[in-house]
Amino acid sequence: MCLVGFLGLVWLVESLAVVQDAEYSLDRLFVGMACLVSGLVAMAVVLFAEGHLPQWALPAGGLSILVTAGCFVIDGGQAKPGFAETGALIILVAWTSRRFDAPRGKLATGLLIVALLLMPLRLTQGVRQGVAFEFLIVMSIAAALALGAYLYSVDARRRRAIATVRHGERLELARELHDFVAHHVTGIVVQAQAAQYITQDDPARARESFGAIEKAGLEALTSMRRLVDVMRQDDSGAGARPLGDLGQTAELVDRFRHGDAIATLYVSPELTPETLAPETAASVHRIVQEGLTNVRKHAAGVSAVTVAVAAVNSGVEVTVRDDGGPATGSRLSAVGGGFGLEGLHERATAIGGRLRAGPRPEGGWEVVATLPLRSP
């Protein structure tokens, strides 16, 4: 923003120079105004179109080339070089090279480089001056490309790290679901063995056993379907983590302390192990665990942390809120210092829920997740 402001001041100085040159000829006024418009477009793209690059960089580069050609043909190369426009185009080269793999990224970067290399054609008052300006342009392009390549590598590493975290979260959820399925199948086997001996002697108990077998079978099938959805590859070398449930979540909150602050927990009375799917209960535990960990790592001046697990509509809402001030470290969703929330987002999505995290209007931070009571 400061750099664009500086370029804006340079553009204003150039506009005053164009007004002064207008006293000599209309051609010079036309060429000068064209240069000013091209510079204004380039600065506007830098200021407003960062999220829409590189497609918005294409018209800026194309307009600069057209203006350079017009200056050379109409005014014989006596126009001003357009320093504000040059600086804005150099910034765009760095940004588009950072997004080199995006659609039209290569085209935009190449077009901007051509526009910059042709810029000295606007200034043919002397060979030495033109060569010096071209040298500065080439060095600036090289610096912009180096910066863009570095940022591209940083973005690529972050994308790989996020993909690894999400994949690991899917595998962990798959391991948990595997344990749930094994538990249900074991119950089916035990009930079936018992039913063989009591069918003749106690028909009522036999019917209860068959009902329990049906229920366990349906739950096993549901968990198995979810397992197939989230499992991507074998993860035999990964370590296991104890599964979480509402009881372990309560213990987790009871043990939490951060300075003078402690956490309080509210759980809707209707939420019980029978009403929650096993993967939902485990996800609730993971979300609360990660939320409290983030409070310890990043929150400053916390006096209270509230955790709520509430039944909403046909699902369950999990919230972890603190009343802290500005973070002492970078919040995970704002900068890329960690990937815990990325993994939680992947877990919530995998079981049919959603998750968001961000600052609260009244101060502090919150993590809010909405999960299904049962697998769809």
pLDDT in tens, 65-106: 888 887 777 765 555 657 788 888 888 898 888 887 777 788
Most confident of 39-53, 56-70, 158-172, 212-226: 56-70
Q: Please check the confidence at residue 272 and state whether its pLDDT lies above 70.
A: yes
Q: Please say whether the beta carbons of 346 and 170 come within 8 A.
A: yes
The three-state (H, E, C) secondary structure of 247-309, written as one string: HHHHHHHHHCEECCEEEEEEECCCCCCCCCCHHHHHHHHHHHHHHHHHHHHHCECCCCEEEEE
Instruction: Say how far apart CA 121 and CA 117 lie, in whole Å.
Output: 9
Q: What is the mean pLDDT of residues 321-345?
A: 60
Report how far residue 93's alpha carbon sits from residue 72's, in angstroms, rounded to the nearest whole number: 24
Does residue 81 contact residue 116 with C-beta atoms inside 8 Å? no
CA distances from 262 to 250, 289, 300, 321, 326 (A): 13, 14, 14, 12, 19
Q: Which residues pair with 306 in a beta bridge?
A: 264, 321
Provide, rounded to the nearest whole percent, the portion of the chain with pLDDT above 70. Answer: 67
Per the listing, tokens 């199948």 go with 185
Predicted confidence band of residue 309 (pLDDT cuts 50, 70, 90):
very high
Task: Answer yes or no: are the C-beta atoms of 276 and 249 closer than 8 Å.
Answer: no
Question: What per-residue confidence (pLDDT) applies to 146?
Answer: 92
Strands 354-359 and 365-372: antiparallel
- Scanning the chain, the segments in alpha helix (DSSP H) are 2-21, 26-48, 57-74, 83-98, 105-118, 127-198, 203-230, 246-255, 278-298, 340-350
Q: Which of 123-127, 171-175, 277-281, 306-310 has the highest mean pLDDT?
A: 306-310
If one counts every other C-beta atom within 10 angstroms of the C-beta of residue 222, the result is: 20
Mean pLDDT (whole number) for 188-203 = 67
Q: Which residues contact residue 55 at a Cβ distance below 8 angstroms, ignoring those fewer than 6 apart?
A: 103, 104, 108
Tokens matching residue 69 = 């050609």
| Cα 43 to Cα 148: distance, rounded to the nearest angstrom | 18
Highest mean pLDDT among 125-129, 140-144, 200-204, 251-255: 140-144
Q: For the stretch 179-196, what's the b/e string if a residue is b when 16 or more beta carbons lie within 10 angstroms of its beta carbon?
A: ebbebbeebbeebeebbe
Domain ranges of the chain: 2-125, 161-230, 246-372
Superfamily of domain 246-372: Histidine kinase-like ATPase, C-terminal domain (3.30.565.10)
* Residue, of 72 and 155, whose pLDDT is higher: 155
Q: Are 57 and 95 in contact (CB under 8 A)?
A: yes
Dist. CA 191–CA 212, nearest whole Å: 7
Mean per-residue pLDDT for 132-137? 83
Give me the sheet containing 315-322, strands edge to edge: 257-258, 261-267, 305-312, 315-322, 365-372, 354-359
DSSP class of 204 = H
How many angstroms separate the CA atoms of 154 and 164, rounded? 15
Secondary structure letter of residue 151 according to DSSP: H
Residues in the chain: 376
Higher pLDDT, 205 or 228: 205
> In angstroms, what CA-CA distances link 155 with 148, 158, 161?
10, 5, 10
Is pLDDT at 283 greater than 50 in this prediction? yes
Taking the C-alpha atoms of residue 226 and residue 237, their distance in angstroms, rounded to an integer, is 22
